[in-house]
Amino acid sequence: MAVNLLDFDLEGLAAFCESLGEKKFRATQLFRWVHQKGANQFDDMSDLARSLRDKLKGNAEITALPVITQHISTDGTIKWLFDVGGGDAVETVFIPESDRGTLCISSQAGCAVGCRFCSTGHQGFSRNLKTWEILAQLWFAEHFLRKHLGVQERVISNVVMMGMGEPLQNYAALVPALRAMLDDHGYGLSRRRVTVSTSGVVPMMDRLKDDCPVALAVSLHAPTDILRDNLVPLNKKYPLVELLSACKRYLERAPRDFITFEYCMLDGVNDSPEQARALLALVREADIPCKFNLIPFNPFPASGLLRSKNNMVQEFARILLDGGLVTTIRKTRGDDIDAACGQLAGDVKDRTNVSGRISKQRTIMLQQISEQKSIN
């Protein structure tokens, strides 16, 4: 069976080349063709010997994920739904800003953590994505955007593992994908611009710091174990004190000198001024350099939860800021196409439902992307 070359970091590709009886350094050329130039035909790889190209044709392929839908928001955010087979789909979101282009990538079909406020969590767990399925999201988005914007240079400058799934519960597939993102012969992204977001898988946070330290975001959502046990069930396994010490250990090797804490603001659940003060005390006590990112909850009916009122979010932020913590309130992007955090719902079986909703909204065709020159 042909091997998908998107499944490898550079080291893995070198081992694959050796297994074909080729010199290891050929892997660098091949890796550049695949990731930097977006090639998917071996015949296009003009500086590779014909004999190698023939060998590759017989043993390998470069295959992306089929796109089920693509939607473009009025704010330039693009959401793709990719088919990963077996009735599952995952979503990838491109968020253009004036100074960067961020791609939000999925790591699993569904998620086993089951956070109460997350629609992916409500879906349950289907399966881990393979390395190639994680990388295919970046490969496709980067080369699609370059082509349709008519540019040669890199469009995606930042990656956040904040799509569907818990990346640290798919560690073995995640790490080679991260390495390909960081590799100068791959996407050449800075460690500070690749962020893994986790609900707090403590042992894997320790491994990541040694294997591939990138920026870390930790989904906190509550100042106490009682509340966090309820919102993020994984807290029962790795309670706050353990999670915070893992954050501290991570900082010894992290590319940034702070941890980003994400905090989804839920009306009447975790948004009171007392809770803000408790949160402040918690991170001070643990002595963790950190920033807070408050995410107004993106509601979905099955959650039974509501978004915090604006004034509560502002007040919460003010308390953290007054306490000396850098705090931002996340703008929601792609609202009109359901591309915001926790709204990613990738069940193909549900597709009729999804398309029904989306057809009411503005669906812009592929060609029109080229008009969005301001996207970068």
Does 197 engage in binding with ligand SAH (CB under 6 A)?
Answer: yes
Contacts of 251 (CB under 8 A, 6+ apart): 257, 258, 259, 288, 289
Q: Mask 165-184, x = binds ligand SF4 (CB under 6 A)?
A: xx------------------
Tokens of 314: 């502002």
Contacts of 50 (CB under 8 A, 6+ apart): none
Q: Pick out residues in 239-278 that bind ligand SAH (CB under 6 A).
A: 262, 264
Least spacing, CB of residue 70 vs ligand SAH, in Å: 21
Does 94 engage in binding with ligand SAH (CB under 6 A)?
Answer: no
Q: Is 341 a catalytic residue?
A: yes
Q: Of 117, 250, 261, 292, which lies in the binding site for ligand SAH, with binding defined by CB under 6 A?
A: 117
Q: Mask 148-167, x = binds ligand SF4 (CB under 6 A)?
A: -----------------xx-
Please give the backbone phi and psi of residue 127, each rounded to the nearest 5 degrees, phi first. Answer: -165, 165
Please tell me the distance from the alpha carbon of residue 82 to that of residue 296, in angstroms, as a whole number. Answer: 26
- The size of the chain, in residues, is 376
Q: Of 158, 270, 298, 376, which lies in the binding site for ligand SAH, with binding defined by CB under 6 A?
A: 298
> Where does residue 367 rank: exposed (0-12), middle (13-18), buried (19+ CB within 10 A)?
exposed
Catalytic-labelled residue, pool 17, 22, 91, 166: 91
Does 276 engage in binding with ligand SF4 (CB under 6 A)?
Answer: no
**Closest residue to ligand SAH: CB criterion:** 342
Which of these, 25, 22, 30, 70, lies nearest to 48 by C-alpha position? Answer: 30
**Of residues 63 and 125, the one with the C-beta less far from ligand SF4:** 125
Q: Of 162, 189, 214, 317, which lies in the binding site for ligand SAH, with binding defined by CB under 6 A?
A: 162
Q: Is 91 a catalytic residue?
A: yes
Q: Of 170, 342, 346, 347, which lies in the binding site for ligand SAH, with binding defined by CB under 6 A?
A: 342
Mark the segment that binds ligand SF4 (CB under 6 A) among 24-32, 72-80, 111-119, 179-187: 111-119
- Pairing type for strands 326-329 and 290-296 reads parallel
Sheet holding 88-97, edge to edge: 67-72, 78-85, 88-97, 100-104, 158-161, 194-198, 215-219, 259-265, 290-296, 326-329
Instruction: Give the residue numbers annotated as catalytic, written as ranges.
Output: 91, 341
| Interface with ligand SAH (CB under 6 A) | 117-118, 162, 166, 197-199, 219, 262, 264, 295, 297-298, 341-342
